[in-house]
Chains A and B, each alone.
Chain A
């Protein structure tokens, strides 16, 4: 199956600093990637849809100036948490669609990175 690499796996930073998280599709090209946030013992919440070569589409309630998304190539999307604060501490997960490697009969399956645990002190 398709492989999505996410880096770093864990980051600890001071309040007020910015943190960049990378999401790469290793063996396929992804025109669309997704960024999710997951708090402990809760489900994944879609933050934004990242489109290669165009602006990201943010979900309601997600500040686009706070969570900057760049999808400059077909294999890389980045999420930058700007001026991070303790309430931004969470598990951030990216995913990408690979229509060419989906199991037979499947459609638009998302393949997920391993996630990034962000802790803001």
Chain B
């Protein structure tokens, strides 16, 4: 079983749609959680951290459920520029970031 699992997608949605991605992690000792965005053939960039209480940044909302070891990302009012791969990232007990394989999002006009 992978340490961080994501649905690879692709999720193909029209502009303006709301889309949600899920991620599960296997290590209950995980301490920090993040969503990164990676454009094709580019480096990953931090989108947002994920906190237990849930957090929002503009059109993006992240949720964490420690009991279920589950993380989610909700994107409202999708834009064409949101097309990218979204990486679920977990950090536990050390400096290593454990990356999921990513969920690909395609936003069409």
| A associates with B | no
Contact residues of B with A, CB < 8 Å?
Answer: none
